């Protein structure tokens, strides 16, 4: 299922423009949306999910025009959404909560509903603790309940907003693997500010800044555009300054190595290196100030 967004705008009260002529094409499979906090990602997710209305622009989800009332209803039937902060009932068990959400989503036949709930508990590896109250769960377990509720209607289009924020490394890996498995059957839009999550799961990506898309393409294309701007500067003196952004700092025995993105000066004795996804992210976010 392909999703096409054309010239999407969202202006809040006080003339605050959260989205500014945003255009984007989301292909089948796993698609990563990168951007810092405040870039407009969550506003964009909420519009795609039908929670917010855009000020202007069009959204085509498969055969449906999602900015019309009728189209929005059709999209919500094929949509699964895991927001950044999903409200749950802490005194319900995971099984009870999923059963309740399934009823809200129209799964009224009890036997079919219970079967779907059990399938999803198995899928997210919570069946053995499904009777426990949600308030006893870790953050990662709660996030897995969240993805299970998003899958109750077997959606063709799945939106997940910052799903691994705050999780420990083991839970992040588990969650990334789960999303990769899910993308084999549907379009999954993964919105995050965590570069590593995108690097491990996505081939196609977009980057947002200040309500606009500043890059769309494959990771390979992004790295190609960043090539030639990534350097190592090694010094035993003060922290280097110049027309670049520092990505990382490594302390060595008698000196410090700085990985920078931009254009160092000749006297800084910089050595050019191959770019990674984090370098590309920094380059696109700061390239106007680095050129």
Mean pLDDT value of segment 218-232: 96
Q: Pick from 37, 46, 48, 44: which is nearest to 22 by CA?
A: 44
* Cβ contact 231:273 at 8 Å: yes
The pLDDT value recorded for residue 282 is 95
Q: Pick from 215, 270, 213: which is nearest to 246 by CA?
A: 270
The pLDDT value recorded for residue 149 is 97
pLDDT in tens, 42-78: 999 999 999 999 999 999 999 999 988 899 899 999 9
- Report d(CA 109, CA 61) in Å as an integer: 28
Mean pLDDT value of segment 157-186: 89
Task: Report percent pLDDT > 70 for the chain.
Answer: 99
The pLDDT value recorded for residue 287 is 78
pLDDT in tens, 95-116: 999 999 999 999 999 999 999 9
Q: How confident is the model at residue 288 (pLDDT cuts 50, 70, 90)?
A: low
Rounded to 10 degrees, what is the CA torsion of 121, 124, 127, 131?
A: -80
The DSSP annotation for the chain comes to: --EEEEEEEEEETTTEEEEEEEEEEE-SSEEEEE--TTSSHHHHHHHHTTSS--SEEEEEETTEETTSHHHHHHHHHTEEEE-SS----TTSBHHHHHHHHHHHTT---HHHHHHHHHHHHHHTT-GGGTTSBGGGS-HHHHHHHHHHHHTTT--SEEEEESTTTT--HHHHHHHHHHHHHHTTTSEEEEEES-HHHHHHH-SEEEEEETTEEEEEEEHHHHHHHHTTSEEEEEESSSPP-SEEEEEEEEE-SSSEEEEEEEE--GGG--EE----HHHHHHHHHHHHHH-
The pLDDT value recorded for residue 12 is 95
Task: Report percent pLDDT > 90 for the chain.
Answer: 77
* Residue 165 pLDDT greater than 70, yes or no: yes
The alpha carbon dihedral of 23, 4, 197, 201 has a sign of: negative
Q: Pick from 94, 95, 59, 62: which is nearest to 77 by CA?
A: 62
* Cβ contact 55:38 at 8 Å: no
The pLDDT value recorded for residue 15 is 92
* Residue 166 pLDDT greater than 90, yes or no: no
Q: Across the chain, what does the average pLDDT equal? A: 93
Q: How confident is the model at residue 267 (pLDDT cuts 50, 70, 90)?
A: confident
Predicted model pTM: 0.90
Q: Which domains does the chain show, CATH number per domain?
A: 3-218 (3.40.50.300), 227-290 (no CATH)
* Cβ contact 264:258 at 8 Å: no
- Report d(CA 65, CA 211) in Å as an integer: 22
The pLDDT value recorded for residue 57 is 97
Mean pLDDT value of segment 168-184: 89
Which residue is associated with the tokens 């190592």? 232
Mean pLDDT value of segment 214-226: 96
CA atoms within 13 A on the CB side of 235: 16
* Residue 269 pLDDT greater than 90, yes or no: no
- Report d(CA 51, CA 67) in Å as an integer: 11
* Cβ contact 263:290 at 8 Å: yes
* Residue 290 pLDDT greater than 60, yes or no: no
* Residue 289 pLDDT greater than 70, yes or no: no
The pLDDT value recorded for residue 152 is 97
């Amino acid at each position: 299922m392909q999703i096409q967004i054309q010239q999407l705008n969202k202006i809040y009260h006080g003339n605050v423009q959260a989205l500014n002529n945003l255009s984007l094409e989301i292909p089948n499979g796993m698609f990563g949306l990168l951007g810092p906090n405040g870039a407009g990602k969550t506003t964009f997710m909420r519009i795609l999910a039908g929670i917010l209305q855009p000020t202007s622009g069009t959204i085509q989800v498969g055969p449906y025009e999602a900015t019309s009332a009728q189209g929005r209803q059709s999209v919500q039937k094929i949509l699964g959404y895991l927001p950044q902060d999903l409200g749950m009932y802490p005194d319900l068990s995971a099984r009870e909560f999923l059963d309740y959400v399934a009823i809200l989503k129209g799964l009224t036949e009890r036997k079919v509903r219970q079967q779907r709930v059990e399938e999803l508990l198995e899928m997210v590896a919570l069946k053995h603790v499904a009777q426990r109250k949600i308030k006893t769960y870790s953050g990662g377990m709660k996030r897995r309940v969240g993805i299970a509720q998003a899958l109750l209607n077997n959606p063709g289009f799945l939106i997940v907003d910052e799903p691994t924020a705050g999780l420990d490394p083991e839970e992040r890996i588990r969650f990334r693997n789960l999303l990769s498995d899910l993308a084999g059957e549907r379009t999954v839009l993964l919105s995050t500010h965590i570069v590593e999550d995108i690097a491990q799961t996505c081939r196609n990506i977009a980057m947002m800044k200040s309500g606009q898309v500043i890059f769309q393409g494959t990771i390979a294309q992004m790295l190609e555009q960043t090539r030639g701007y990534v350097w190592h500067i090694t010094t035993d003196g003060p922290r280097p300054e110049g027309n670049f952004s520092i990505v990382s700092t490594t302390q060595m025995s008698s000196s410090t190595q700085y990985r920078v993105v931009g254009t160092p000066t000749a006297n800084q004795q910089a050595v050019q290196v191959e770019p990674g996804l984090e370098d590309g992210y920094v380059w696109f976010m700061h390239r106007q100030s680095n050129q």
